[in-house]
Amino acid sequence: MKKQDEKTKLPVLNIVVPCYNEEEVLPITSVMFENKIKELIELKKIDESSCVLFVNDGSKDTTWQIICDLAKKSPYIEGVSLSRNRGHQNALLGGLMEAKDRCDITISIDCDGQDDINAMNEMIDKYLEGFDVVYGVRSKRETDTFFKRFTAESFYKLLNMMGAEVVFNHADYRLVSKRVLDEFANFEEVNLFLRGMFPLVGFNSTSVYYERHERMAGQSHYPLSKMLSLAFDGITSLSVQPIRYITGFGILMAVLSFIGVLYTLISKFAGRTVDGWTSTTCILCFVSGVQMISLGVLGEYIGKIYMETKHRPRYIISERTYVKKKES
């Protein structure tokens, strides 16, 4: 059922690569990416106008200079530069939005050579089979230190527990088709957590598995503090579940307070109390129960307002039996 003309016309691929202070690793990995494009063109999987699109995220070293030189030398390399450092997620989004009008499919990947570029062949095969989003999922984490593995896996578990739907062990190595990106452009939120947002767009998706290597050169820009802030962003931008926990806690407190009131009354009538204790404890229990529930109710409204402010599309149409007329 996949578009008929695809047999005659090959898809144009853009590999989108955010780079921040990557002068050490870029000369190594840019060759790998370029060779991959050439290989895929030779295999007749992608169109000749495919390219690698590097996004310079306001680097302070010579990264942009290197990208400009590469773009001059090779027809398969292009670059865009952000006006300042905006962080990995924003840089990636910038690259994807830039690419969506120039190609049929994008594959986003980090520039440090950690993700196995050979998984791209399978990703494109999956696209040709009819999948619009293909998640690259790490099959093993053996090259990570125990600490990185533990924190990263806890991160995915915590996200799922908090109601944010993410694909386990998938970072930002994924294939996304143009039509998904066109819909994605309608997600106007500022707090980005791309790996949790693509599942919201829907469409047919699948995963391919690959082994992740160590960084080829340079240093990670994701120390624990940045990982924690990404986790926090992920939870708070995708889900209002933490607020629900407050409501749940409020109900639990109200039940406990009711039992507390019963206990104090029984104690009073059994004559085991001093003057004033019963009334003070009863009021304390009652007020704290009411307060917690009220906080939860307020929270529910704040959660609703928060979701409203995101102006996310309420639905997305993926197929039609007829051709939609262009809006004039």
Residue 114 as a binder of Mg ion (CB under 5 A): the answer is: yes
Distances 71 to 11, 37, 66, 80, 180 between C-alpha atoms, Å = 21, 14, 9, 10, 27
Question: 194 vs 261, which CB is nearer to ligand UDP?
Answer: 194
CA 301 – CA 310 distance, rounded (Å): 15
Question: 120 vs 181, which CB is nearer to Mg ion?
Answer: 120
Indicate which of ligand UDP, Mg ion, none lies near residue 294 (CB less than 5 to 8 Å, by partner kind): none
Residue 143 as a binder of ligand UDP (CB under 6 A): the answer is: no
Q: Are 165 and 205 in contact (CB under 8 A)?
A: no
Question: 220 vs 294, which CB is nearer to ligand UDP?
Answer: 220
Q: Which stretch binds Mg ion (CB under 5 A): 45-53, 108-116, 171-179, 288-296?
A: 108-116
Question: 19 vs 159, which CB is nearer to Mg ion?
Answer: 19
Kindly write out the interface string for residues 188-227 of this chain, putting x where it contacts ligand UDP by CB under 6 A and - elsewhere: --------------------------------xxx-----
Question: 143 vs 236, which CB is nearer to Mg ion?
Answer: 143
Kindly write out the interface string for residues 47-86 of this chain, putting x where it contacts ligand UDP by CB under 6 A and - elsewhere: ----------x---------------------------x-
CA 118 – CA 122 distance, rounded (Å): 8
Strand order of the β-sheet with 105-108 is 77-81, 51-56, 13-19, 105-108, 170-177, 133-138, 205-210
Site for ligand UDP in 104-123 (CB under 6 A): 110-112, 114
Of positions 15, 36, 77, 88, contacts ligand UDP by CB under 6 A: 88
Q: Are 7 and 47 in contact (CB under 8 A)?
A: no
Dihedral of the alpha carbons of 150, 153, 157, 162, in degrees to the nearest 10: 90
Question: 110 vs 132, which CB is nearer to Mg ion?
Answer: 110
Indicate which of Mg ion, ligand UDP, none lies near residue 111 (CB less than 5 to 8 Å, by partner kind): ligand UDP
Q: What residues contact residue 312 under an 8 Å CB cut-off, 6+ apart?
A: 186, 187, 188, 189, 200
The two tokens of residue 261 are 């009131």
* Helix or strand run (H / E) with residue 282: helix 277-309
Residue 112 as a binder of Mg ion (CB under 5 A): the answer is: yes
Residue 116 as a binder of Mg ion (CB under 5 A): the answer is: no
Minimum CB–partner distance for residue 156 and ligand UDP (Å)? 14
Nearest residue to Mg ion on Cβ basis: 112
The two tokens of residue 286 are 């009652």
Question: What are the φ/ψ torsions at residue 134 (nearest 5 degrees)?
Answer: -125, 115
Query: Computed from CA positions of residues 66, 72, 75, 80, in that sequence, does the dihedral angle turn out positive or negative?
Result: positive
Question: 28 vs 284, which CB is nearer to ligand UDP?
Answer: 28
Please give the biggest Cα pair distance in the chain.
93
Q: Which stretch binds Mg ion (CB under 5 A): 56-64, 75-83, 111-119, 226-234?
A: 111-119
Residues that bind ligand UDP (CB under 6 A): 18-20, 22, 57, 85, 87-88, 91, 110-112, 114, 220-222
